[in-house]
Amino acid sequence: MRKRIGLFAVVLLSCFFAAACSGNQQGSDQEQAEAELTISAAASLQNALNDVKTEFEKDHSAITVTFNFGGSGSLQQQISQGAPADLFFSAAMDKYQILADEGLIEKGKNLIGNDLALIVSKDAASNVNRFEDIMSLDTISIGTPESVPAGNYAQEALTNMGIWDKIEGNIIYAKDVRQVLTYVESGNVDAGIVYRTDASISEDVAVIASAPKGTHEDIIYPVGILKESDHQEEAKLFYDYLQSEKAMAIFKKYGFKGLN
């Protein structure tokens, strides 16, 4: 009888410890499953990064990726002021460099490139065949140069082409390139200047010309892991994934250029 009681006690204790270990494991798994990365990224990356996210999460089911899209300047200011983020994916080197100079970047890389394009609505009659023709238009939209790299590149290109001073009064500024695209698609402006990748996702605009080589600095997108990230290991996984052949194929599908 005592042997039976002793055996029963052993079984109970075994079950208790097994349940405790299982509970701890489930808690650990739950914590891992709740890892969520926040990526502050230029608006022009929206379509490509959403595809990258889908593929990444297939391979890393315990990690959820969320995006904060906007103008690179606005995103940089948010991060400088303490907004939480795990990675910063900028459309301009200078915005990225500000965070690097502030000591907020843990690790980074220049990843992809882009081109600048002049666009008009397909539904609107237009006599625009080259950049110089926009001098006859009433409204041209670009991103706000101080906060939107595409707008800064546009201003630089138009200045070097000798056009800026003649059209500055007709400029309609936008918070990011996607808003410029919307203005042109809806016919609210006569023309706009966006990245070629943004123009490629719209069936409602026509690309008239690309900014001539040498009229603006090379358009380079750097990406970096932020030192204040609470998920350094997961951020490194996503950072490495962005450089993978699968991710680079997605970027190229949307018209971005590799830098290697």
Q: For 98-134, how does the pLDDT look when each residue is reduced to its tens digit (9 = 90+)?
A: 999 999 999 999 999 999 999 999 988 788 999 999 9
pLDDT above 50: residue 66:
yes
- Looking at residue 22, what is its pLDDT? 46
pLDDT, tens digit, 9 for 90 and up, residues 37-65: 999 999 999 999 999 999 999 999 999 99
CB 113 within 8 A of CB 252: no
The per-residue pLDDT of the chain, averaged, comes to 88
- Looking at residue 4, what is its pLDDT? 47
The residues that bridge with 117 in the sheet, in sequence order, are: 194, 210
- Looking at residue 125, what is its pLDDT? 74
User: Which residues does 48 contact at the CB level (< 8 Å), separation at least 6?
Assistant: 197, 250, 251, 253, 254, 256
What is the DSSP annotation of 166-221?
HHGGGEEEESSHHHHHHHHHHTSSSEEEEEHHHHHT-SSEEEEEEPPTTSS--EEE
d(CA 235, CA 86): 6
pLDDT above 50: residue 23:
no
Number of H helices, E strands in the chain: 10, 11
Residue 195 binned pLDDT confidence (cut-offs 50, 70, 90): very high
CATH topology for the 116-210 domain: D-Maltodextrin-Binding Protein; domain 2 (3.40.190)
pLDDT, tens digit, 9 for 90 and up, residues 134-151: 999 999 999 999 989 999
From residue 140, alpha-carbon distances to 117, 163, 174 in Å are 13, 12, 11
CATH 3.40.190.10 domain range(s) in the chain: 36-113+220-258, 116-210
CATH architecture, domain defined by 36-113+220-258: 3-Layer(aba) Sandwich (3.40)
